[in-house]
């Protein structure tokens, strides 16, 4: 089979590799569609290394069709259209036992410890099937729509951390696909105003299409002044950082009203630190939290939102890629040329 094999930073090669052979508790999925995550870009650049093997097949956002079913697997059949939750919880550690399976102490993941979706076929391990990580797709949801269910589920986890309420003013920094997911979810949660900060023109346009009330170019306008103007001088209730730029953490915190919440949603490069004025936290009593991955419940909620038509998936994706030009797909995400690159396999 064809696969894009990751050999190290900036080295991804399309190769002919052996088609996976499954065991009696495993499932083989023919990958129909994969998508490029910002984390894939960080892996490609060598900035994300935990759990990453070389050589290996990366890619953790994938959907497909069951090709083979192991003898001991029940409930799944050849031809089933399925989505795959990449993070496999152990279900036994302290975090799994206390509602935090997304940060499982012993977690493994498709696209990391197990080969991922930048290939024609992917083997789903028995641990993933037993944990419920393989999910049948609703009939009315296309593969191109379903492939964003995993990142949308991560955003749902983030929205839970921010606790967006009806009537809130929400600021999202970063207008990539993740930022636009947060825009839509904040609106669904009842935010009265969602303001997006993004320097790239076409992304600001898509943000307005996704439901943002304002789309600000922070290189040409003062985001701080605009937020104060839009909130009678109070500041935003919630700020979600959908871009992993450490230098923006402090300025993002300063956009909040007293008692507001700053969510560091995006991943940051290990070892790159950020300065923050502790007085902003102390005197304004703001809450600062983070978000990591998703739970299985988040994934099911995400699929339900897509199936019900509440999420505009078209503004989130750029199609037209294949395994043959996967490096271009990654670079287009890195450079902001498109949105989430969708790879048809």
Which is nearest to 46 in space by CA: 88, 82, 12, 85?
12
Instruction: Give the range of the structural domain holding residue 227, as residue numbers without chain letter.
Output: 155-290
The predicted-structure confidence for 155-204, as pLDDT tens digits, reads as follows 999 999 999 999 999 999 999 999 999 999 999 999 999 999 999 999 99
Q: What does pLDDT average to over the chain?
A: 97
In this prediction, residue 51 has a pLDDT band, given cuts at 50, 70 and 90, of confident
Task: With a cut of 90, say whether residue 118 has pLDDT above it.
Answer: yes
> Over the stretch 26-38, which tens digit does the pLDDT of each residue have?
999 999 999 999 9
Structural domain total, the chain: 2
With bands split at pLDDT 50, 70 and 90, how would you rate the model's confidence at 338?
Answer: very high
pLDDT of residue 270: 84
Summarize the confidence of residues 13-29 as an average pLDDT. Answer: 97
pLDDT of 270-293, one tens digit each?
888 999 999 999 999 999 999 999
What is the maximum alpha-carbon separation in the chain?
64
- Say whether both 101 and 232 belong to one domain: no
CA angle 227-336-266, nearest 5°? 60
Residues 179 and 236 reside in one and the same domain: yes
What CATH code is carried by the domain that includes residue 95?
3.90.180.10
Question: CA of 211: how far to CAs of 76, 83, 179, 224, 232, in Å?
Answer: 38, 27, 12, 21, 22
Q: Give the CA distances from residue 223 to residues 235, 279, 286, in Å, rounded to whole numbers and listed in that order.
A: 11, 21, 19
Residue 269: per-residue pLDDT: 84
**DSSP secondary structure string for all residues of 318-340:** EEEE-GGGHHHHHHHHHHTSSSE
Same domain membership, residue 181 and residue 85: no
One domain for residues 174 and 139: no
| Nearest by Cα to 117 from 156, 146, 160 | 146
What does the pLDDT average to over 320-335? 96
Write the CB contacts of 325 (distance below 8 Å, at least 6 apart in sequence): none
Are the beta carbons of 295 and 101 closer than 8 angstroms? Answer: yes
pLDDT at residue number 125: 98
The residues that bridge with 341 in the sheet, in sequence order, are 318
Looking at the fold, whether 91 and 199 belong to one and the same domain comes out as no
Does residue 203 sit within a domain? yes
Q: 113 and 163 in one domain?
A: no
CB 52 within 8 A of CB 154: no
pLDDT at 49: 83
For residue 250, being part of any structural domain is answered with: yes
Q: For residue 179, is it within any domain?
A: yes
Give the span between the Cα atoms of 304 and 298, in whole angstroms.
10
Establish if 304 belongs to a structural domain: no
Provide, rounded to the nearest whole percent, the portion of the chain with pLDDT above 90. Answer: 96
Contact 41, 12 (CB under 8 A): no
Same domain, 191 and 279: yes
Residues 47, 23 within the same domain: yes
Tell whether 307 is covered by a domain.
no
What CATH code is carried by the domain that includes residue 240?
Answer: 3.40.50.720
Last residue of one domain, picked from the residues 290, 305, 325: 290
pLDDT of 146: 98
Query: Which of 234, 291, 283 lies closest to 262, judged by CA?
Result: 291
Residues 338 and 232 in one domain: no
In a domain, 302, yes or no: no
Asked if the structure places residue 305 within a domain, the reply is no
DSSP classification of residue 114: B
Q: b/e string for 222-240 if b means 16 or more Cβ within 10 A? A: ebeebbbebbeeebbbbbb
Query: How many CB atoms are closer than 10 A to CB 99?
Result: 9
205 and 102 both lie in a single domain = no
- Give the per-residue pLDDT at 330: 96
If asked whether residues 268 and 318 sit together in one domain, one would say no
The verdict on 166 and 269 lying in the same domain is yes
Q: How confident is the model at residue 63 (pLDDT cuts 50, 70, 90)?
A: very high
Inside any domain, residue 209: yes
pLDDT for 297 beyond 90: yes
pLDDT-derived band at 50, boundaries 50, 70, 90: confident
């Amino acid at each position: 089979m064809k696969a894009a094999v990751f050999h190290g930073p900036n080295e991804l090669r399309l190769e002919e590799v052996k088609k996976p052979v499954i065991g009696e508790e495993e499932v083989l999925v023919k990958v129909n569609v994969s998508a490029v995550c910002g984390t894939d870009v960080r892996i490609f650049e060598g900035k994300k290394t935990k759990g990453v093997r070389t050589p290996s097949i990366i890619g953790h956002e994938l959907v497909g069709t069951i090709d083979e079913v192991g003898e001991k697997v029940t409930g799944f059949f050849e031809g089933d259209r399925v989505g795959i939750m990449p993070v496999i919880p152990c279900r036994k550690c302290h975090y799994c036992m206390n509602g935090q399976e997304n940060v499982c102490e012993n977690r493994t993941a498709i696209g990391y410890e197990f080969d991922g979706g930048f290939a024609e076929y992917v083997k789903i391990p028995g641990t993933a099937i037993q944990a419920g990580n393989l999910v049948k797709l609703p009939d009315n949801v296309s593969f191109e729509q379903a492939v964003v269910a995993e990142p949308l589920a991560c955003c749902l986890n983030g929205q839970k951390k921010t606790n967006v309420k009806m009537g809130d003013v929400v600021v999202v920094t970063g207008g990539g696909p993740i930022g636009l997911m947060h825009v839509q979810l904040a609106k669904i949660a009842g935010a009265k105003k969602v303001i997006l900060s993004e320097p790239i023109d076409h992304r600001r346009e898509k943000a307005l299409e996704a439901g943002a009330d304002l789309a600000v170019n922070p290189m040409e306008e003062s985001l701080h002044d605009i937020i104060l103007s839009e909130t009678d001088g109070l500041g935003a209730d919630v700020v979600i950082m959908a871009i992993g730029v450490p230098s923006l953490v402090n300025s993002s915190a300063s956009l909040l009203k007293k008692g507001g919440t700053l969510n560091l949603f995006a991943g940051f490069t290990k070892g790159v630190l950020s300065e923050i004025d502790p007085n902003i936290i102390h005197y304004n009593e703001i809450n600062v939290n983070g978000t990591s991955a998703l739970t299985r419940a988040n994934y099911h909620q995400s699929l339900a939102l897509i199936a019900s038509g509440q999420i505009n998936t078209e503004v989130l994706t750029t199609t037209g890629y294949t395994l043959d030009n996967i490096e271009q797909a990654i670079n287009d995400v890195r450079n902001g040329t498109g949105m989430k690159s969708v790879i048809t396999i």
